[in-house]
A and B are shown apart, each in its own frame.
Chain A
Amino acid sequence: MSVGSASLMRRKPASLSRLPRPGISETLPWVLLVILWILDTSLQPALWSSEQIGLTLANGMALVLVAMAETAVIITRGIDLSVGGMMAISNTLLAREVGGSTVSVLLWCAIVLIIGAAGGALNGILIGVTRLQPFVVTLATWSIFDGIALWILPTTGGSIPNSLITLPLGTWLGLPRTVWFLVLLIAIWAVLARTRSGRAVYALGSDPVAARLSGVSRRKTSIKVYAFSGVCAAAAGIFIATQTASGSPTVGDPFILSAVAATVIGGTSLFGGKGGFAGTVAGAFVFTLINGVTFQLGINSYWGELSQGLLLIVAVALHHATERGARARGRRR
């Protein structure tokens, strides 16, 4: 083999044209959100008031929290079906135990979040240590958590003190409290995603084999990410308590699949490794606003159901049409 002539071949350097650019899947939820927002406000002019914004946010916040949980887990190529159950546990426990004093409120909120972390960690251990599939494990723990919630509070009831109910209401420094809360959530995610653990989460979802070879501990990362999911779910349970002023053992069930839907519409791929919270927030509010708009238009709420289903399918199909080509080109070995 004549080595000399080898130097004639110059390979093109990895050029700047290969830098990542936002695609359809990232912008779609925002476009939808803007459209829906405009629709909503045009039907109900009062919506431009900060009070209404605050309320709308409050309406969707529980879903945002559950979707935050799902986003993290989905990035690792997993899924967490148990968030509904954990949400129910935190909701029912709070409704049953919390007293009127601030101390009690703080204490029980803390307890509930810790339980969320523990339950999530259990998921993480089962998934990270053994080779069990997230779908199956969290299907099982969903049932278990639902059972625990049923045991805590067999029927809707309990009571939530006023101090907790009024927490998300009102303003702080001119903006509704819920806005600040959302900002806080976004900030938390931004920080976490930029830590080494956060990178490990993305790596694990993007390419589990390469991640392991690069030193990522599947066990530790799974535990962290599912514990995070549990905490978010528990927080969602607290939030929904402020909305409904009561506890219900089945409160979480409708949220699970909507959270997955919001995540996926928001641009996070079920294949893992990509995505983020911002898109999920958009996706969650798209869902919330669809309900709002159908209500405003006086349309049968069942149209809302239907359109949410259709939207989900269409959004993901679009997402795929653009994603698959890009991924196939990128992943060629």
Chain B
Amino acid sequence: MTDGMAIAARPAGTGRAAGAPALEISGLDKRYGAVRALAGARLSAHAGEVHALLGENGAGKSTLIKILAGAERADAGAVLLDGRELAPRSPREAERAGVATVFQELSLIADMNVAENLLFGREPLTAARTIRRGRMVATARSMLERFDVLGVDPRVKAGTLAVAERQQVEIVKALSRDPRVLILDEATSALSAREQRWLLTLASQMAAEGKVVLFISHRLQEIRSLAQRMTILQGGKTVAEARVDELDDEAVVRMMLGRRVERMFPARGTPRDEVALEVRNLLLPGRREPINFTQHRGEILGVGGLQGQGQRDLLRALAGVSGHRGEVLVGGQPRRLRNPRAALNAGIALVPEDRKGEGLLLQRSIRENISLPVIDRLRTSLFLSRRAEQRVVDEATARLNISQGSMERPAGTLSGGNQQKVVLAKLLVSRPEILLLYDATRGVDVGTKAEIFELLHELAADGAAALFYSTDLQELAHVCHRVLVMSGGAIVGEVTGELTEERILRVAFGAEERKRDADDIATASPADTEREAQEEEAGA
């Protein structure tokens, strides 16, 4: 796949690299209070080039993009577009200068329809300066058609679109302004393979027209198929500028981290025989098919399938966040998971999908965040015991290697990776038996990811069980012992034995016809499954 795709992406224009770069950034500096987000970053991208920007979270990529897009102002440094200075003071100005950005936080307004969003700020007007609705919808429709986005009706509210559709509309919105530079700030995270190819076609078209496409992504494979050159940021500085084929994955990761990383995925332990979690006839809100499965202690159970198939609902139901019907038994005991408190008391802890909005109190100190789940236990008579709190927090932070420095700092001042560690620390203090991780590694740098997997396996070895949902198939395949595949709010299949990305995907598409009764799934122990899989391998 990679070779064929990569060649198709490279337009004829790359040969012109000898000329002056269309976009040239040098010596860019930016401070947020005491934090230095950029320290002399540089980048050069040529016309007709798709240029990737890589780096860990906190390395400065988003900041650099925000400066280009007019959402922030640099403290020092120069940005030249076609030889002229580019220093927009607002997103509007950046747009006028020819820079279109598709942000991670989508700029679509949920309450307005797609047409209003696409044409926001440039709606067709009547003589009385009021908006011409009909014309607006028609224009939006032709825009969507022009960029080959089918199946989105411009009259529906943007809030009702699926995430992937919204990302597509965002991209169309940016492209419709015929920009000189198109920036994609992790704007491709929700796109499926088909939509990625759509984007690939668009990007090569733009490159062929001599434009510059700058894009940030954490997915190396995506970068290799889309980009010609890349710039790697680390600690706010540019540590590498190279053609995409000049550096292999290990070299890229090494440059991003500034140090070697032995292995991303630690070895998996063996699950025990005791049952940790049993789910019987669980009906998720709004769904009709019941869910049944069993999980053993020490087991990391993956939850896979295409996005939006009920994985989120499942984890949230188990965490007591949303309602459910059916039985859940933790360690053999039936539990009513009415609210998150009840779930925590039952030994179930959740790492939510949005750490800033759901996982952390950004303005409160790290210490207060970590101790919150168990705050009721940290007291002597009526009052809080500082010592008990300190002990609990110290234990958790030691285990997670959260950077030294004041625990009194607001959690919002930490980098993404460290924030996720604080979320995990919160998880640890309640000493959970069942861990629920929803996309716990999204937007987290490579180094922290490795630490998270390490922790996961340690906890599993100690006897906890984990339900692990990730949009990254590679992670599912390498971290989990087995994977439940969901579709339409129910479990449609299971992948056991040797896990590969391909197998998981195949089950997700319902092509794999591994016939197992609901019984078998519920009662087979992992030891049996391993044996069965090995037998099958031996036989094949």
* Contact present between A and B (CB < 8 A): yes
The stretch from B23-31, B115-123, B259-267, B520-528 touching chain A is B115-123
**Pick from B111, B120, B156: contact of A274, CB under 8 Å:** B111
Whether B193 pairs with A1 at a CB distance below 8 angstroms is yes
Closest B residue to A190 by beta carbon equals B130
The stretch from A34-42, A193-201, A255-263, A311-319 touching chain B is A193-201
**Does B153 count as interface, using CB distance less than 8 angstroms?**
yes
Q: Nearest Cβ in chain B — how far from A296, in angstroms? A: 41
Kindly identify, within residues 1 to 42 of chain A, every residue whose CB is under 8 Å from any CB belonging to chain B: 1-3, 5-9, 11-16, 18-20
Closest B residue to A205 by beta carbon equals B111
Complex CA–CA separation, A28 to B160 (angstroms):
25
Interface of B is mostly: loop
Complex CA–CA separation, A273 to B159 (angstroms):
13
Whether A214 pairs with B111 at a CB distance below 8 angstroms is no
**Pick from A2, A5, A14, A214: contact of B160, CB under 8 Å:** A14
Q: B residues within 8 A CB of A203?
A: 109, 112, 120
Q: Per-position contact with A for B88-131: 1 when CB-CB < 8 Å, else 0?
A: 00111001000000010111111110101100110101001111
Whether A1 pairs with B153 at a CB distance below 8 angstroms is no
Whether B506 pairs with A5 at a CB distance below 8 angstroms is yes
Name the interface size band of chain B.
Answer: 35 or more
Kindly identify, within residues 270 to 296 of chain A, every residue whose CB is under 8 Å from any CB belonging to chain B: 273-274
Whether A9 pairs with B91 at a CB distance below 8 angstroms is no
A330-B157 contact, Cβ under 8 Å, with A14-B151, A210-B108:
yes
Complex CA–CA separation, A199 to B130 (angstroms):
10
Complex CA–CA separation, A217 to B92 (angstroms):
9
Q: B residues within 8 A CB of A199?
A: 112, 116, 120, 123, 131
Closest B residue to A200 by beta carbon equals B121
Q: Per-position contact with B for A290-333: 1 when CB-CB < 8 Å, else 0?
A: 00000000000000000000000000000000000000011101
Whether B106 pairs with A210 at a CB distance below 8 angstroms is yes
Kindly identify, within residues 236 to 281 of chain A, every residue whose CB is under 8 Å from any CB belonging to chain B: 273-274
Whether B155 pairs with A3 at a CB distance below 8 angstroms is no
The stretch from B7-15, B162-170, B371-379, B488-496 touching chain A is B162-170
Whether B105 pairs with A213 at a CB distance below 8 angstroms is yes
Number of A residues near B (Cβ < 8 Å) is 42
Closest A residue to B150 by beta carbon equals A13
List chain B positions with a Cβ less than 8 A from chain A. Answer: 1, 71, 90-92, 95, 103, 105-112, 114, 116-117, 120-121, 123, 125, 128-131, 150-153, 155-157, 159-165, 192-194, 197, 306, 473, 501-502, 505-506, 509, 511
A-B pairs with lowest CB-CB distance, top 4 = A13-B151, A213-B107, A330-B159, A194-B130
Q: List 15 A-B contacts (CB under 8 A).
A: A3-B1, A3-B193, A6-B194, A9-B194, A11-B164, A18-B157, A191-B130, A199-B131, A206-B112, A207-B110, A207-B111, A215-B95, A215-B121, A330-B110, A333-B106
List chain A positions with a Cβ less than 8 A from chain B. Answer: 1-3, 5-9, 11-16, 18-20, 191, 194-196, 199-200, 202-203, 206-207, 209-217, 273-274, 329-331, 333
